[in-house]
Amino acid sequence: MSNLAWIFVSTLLVNNFTLVMFLGLCSFFGVTAKIETAWRLGLANTFVLIITAVSAWILNTYILTRTPYLRTIAFIVVIASAVQIVEMAVKKYLPVLFRQLGIYLPLITTNCAILGLALFQTSRRYNFVEGLVFALGAGFGLTLALSLLASIRERMEVADVPVIARRMGLVLVAASCLSLAFMGFAGMGSQ
Amino acid sequence: MTTALAHSPAAALDFVPGAPPPATLRADIWRGIAAENPVLVQMLGMCPTMAVTNVLANGIAMGVATTFVLVGSGLFVSLLRKYIAHEVRITSYILIIATFVTLADLLLAASFPEISKALGPFIPLIVANCLLLGRAEAFAAKVGPVRAVADGMGMGIGFTLSLAAMSAIRELLGRGSLLGFDILGPRWEPWVFMVLPAGGFFTLGLLLITAAWIDELRRRRRALEAK
């Protein structure tokens, strides 16, 4: 049990997917202009991460045991189709949620956090439950990082900043400070 | 009349919607290095840019591997562009890219096992680098194989140069060395911050601000000359 709790806290804070492991940076910089869209995308990502963890576990246990060299190709194809199926299901049964997520749902396929989760899950040999907890921690960690950066950026909008730093430069420096703050969790243990 | 033209194979070449304007091969290569540099201008492929640039050797290895995949996938996407149905094009591109990434992964593991171990899952993660899908969709699928390869080369070189610049700064300040050789001497106190994840964000942020600063200086000089 404590092992599961450790996996959750470790992926949520100590090894935060975005700020410490550098996964999913495109959406981290692309959609964090507004806090509203940022946390919604984070939750959509969490949802897809859980599906990915389940499908990666199935692939690893039953299909890829004899053909490890097909890993990358198999993962990306299964993730892309899973996202497509989820998108169709959400569109049919939860139209309100679908409208809220909009373009972000299909875009999640090319988020490296998703493929990264499947690869790390494989290299660390997590079992089914551990994989699920890993996905949950990673998803909440992403949501946390996205919301934090979005709230900083909303404040920076109204700040008086030199012209040369107006665009991405300052956002990156802010992300650096955020990442430095997360380094404070590194003392919580090493795994 | 136009539909008949569009269906004839010779005209189909000239009739791709949104095709990049014709250019010399040199311009095709040069564009990826300077005007549309993947990292510094387009801000694509950010994850490997930050994650593997704490040491110069890793940055260069990642750049070369990505260049290999860019050229290979560009060539095949361009060769198959008339046979891939529009509806399944993204999936097909991803499959082509994933094939070349697997090749790169296995080649690297066979020839440079130490670098392969250091880069870890970031080599298979090249699949999810938006730069590759972006070039396949925006360029390779709309031009002939020669131009597609030239564009892949240019983008790859531009990507490698940015990664090399990032990792050279981070390794020099963070460890006082370059490619493992001691440069700054034993009295240099390493800036641990630079090899931490936060240093990656910070270095790229400073590079972007410097680029914007140079742009601003140039703009001012031009404005002065115009007066």
Asked whether the beta carbons of residue B206 and residue A173 sit closer than 8 angstroms, the reply is yes
Closest to A149 measured CA to CA, from A8, A17, A10, A18 = A18
pLDDT, tens digit (0-9, with 9 covering 90-100), for B13-63: 444 556 777 778 888 888 888 888 888 877 787 878 888 888 888 899 999
Average pLDDT over residues A111-116: 83
**Ramachandran region, residue A189 (left: φ > 0; alpha: ψ -120 to 50; beta: rest):** left
CB within 8 Å of B155: residues ≥ 6 apart:
B32, B36, B38, B67, B70, B131, B135
What's the CA gap between A75 and B98, in Å, rounded? 10
Structure confidence at residue B180 (pLDDT) = 76
> How many CA atoms lie less than 13 Å away from B43 in the CB half-sphere?
16
**Which chain B residues are within 8 Å of A123, Cβ to Cβ?**
120-121
**Which chain B residues are within 8 Å of A19, Cβ to Cβ?**
197
pLDDT tops 70 at residue A102: no
Lowest-confidence segment of A115-129, B38-52, B69-83, B208-222 by average pLDDT: B38-52
CA distance B221 to chain A (A): 15
The stretches of A33-162 forming alpha helices (DSSP H) are 35-58, 71-93, 95-101, 104-107, 112-123, 128-157
Structure confidence at residue A86 (pLDDT) = 77
Residue A25, chain B, CB below 8 Å: the answer is yes
**Which chain B residues are within 8 Å of A169, Cβ to Cβ?**
205-206, 208-209, 212
**Which chain B residues are within 8 Å of A15, Cβ to Cβ?**
none
Asked whether the beta carbons of residue A173 and residue B44 sit closer than 8 angstroms, the reply is no
Asked whether the beta carbons of residue B205 and residue A20 sit closer than 8 angstroms, the reply is no
Q: Which of residues 13-72 of B touch A (CB under 8 A)?
A: 43-44, 46-47, 50-51
Asked whether the beta carbons of residue A119 and residue B124 sit closer than 8 angstroms, the reply is yes
User: At residue A57, what is the residue type?
Assistant: W
Could you report the predicted ipTM of this complex, rounded to two decimals?
0.81
Of B102, B106, B208, the CB nearest to A169: B208
Lowest-confidence segment of B75-89, B171-185, B194-208 by average pLDDT: B171-185
Residue B196, chain A, CB below 8 Å: the answer is yes
pLDDT, tens digit (0-9, with 9 covering 90-100), for B98-129: 999 999 999 999 998 888 888 888 888 888 88
Of A28, A116, A167, the CB nearest to B125: A116
B194, B203 contact by CB (below 8 A) = yes
Asked whether the beta carbons of residue A169 and residue B216 sit closer than 8 angstroms, the reply is no
Three-class secondary structure of residue B196 per DSSP = coil
pLDDT, tens digit (0-9, with 9 covering 90-100), for A27-55: 788 777 788 878 878 888 888 888 889 88
What's the CA gap between B39 and B200, in Å, rounded? 13
Asked whether the beta carbons of residue A171 and residue B205 sit closer than 8 angstroms, the reply is yes
Q: Which chain A residue has its CA at the smallest distance from B205's CA?
A: A169
Asked whether the beta carbons of residue A69 and residue B106 sit closer than 8 angstroms, the reply is yes
The predicted model scores a pTM of 0.83
Residue A56, chain B, CB below 8 Å: the answer is no
pLDDT tops 60 at residue A190: no
**Which chain A residues are within 8 Å of B216, Cβ to Cβ?**
163-164
Structure confidence at residue B188 (pLDDT) = 78
**Which chain A residues are within 8 Å of B196, Cβ to Cβ?**
179-180, 183
Residue A136 in tokens:
């949950």
What confidence tier does B3 reach under pLDDT thresholds 50, 70, 90? very low
| Domain ranges for chain A | 3-184
Long-range CB contact pairs, A162-165, < 8 A, 24+: A163/B212, A163/B216, A164/B209, A164/B212, A164/B213, A164/B215, A164/B216, A165/B209, A165/B212
pLDDT, tens digit (0-9, with 9 covering 90-100), for B145-189: 899 999 999 999 999 999 998 899 988 888 888 887 777 777 778
CB within 8 Å of A173: residues ≥ 6 apart:
A165, B201, B202, B205, B206, B209
Structure confidence at residue B9 (pLDDT) = 44
What confidence tier does B96 reach under pLDDT thresholds 50, 70, 90? very high
What confidence tier does A1 reach under pLDDT thresholds 50, 70, 90? low
CA B35 to chain CA centroid, nearest Å: 13
More confident residue, A108 or A116: A116
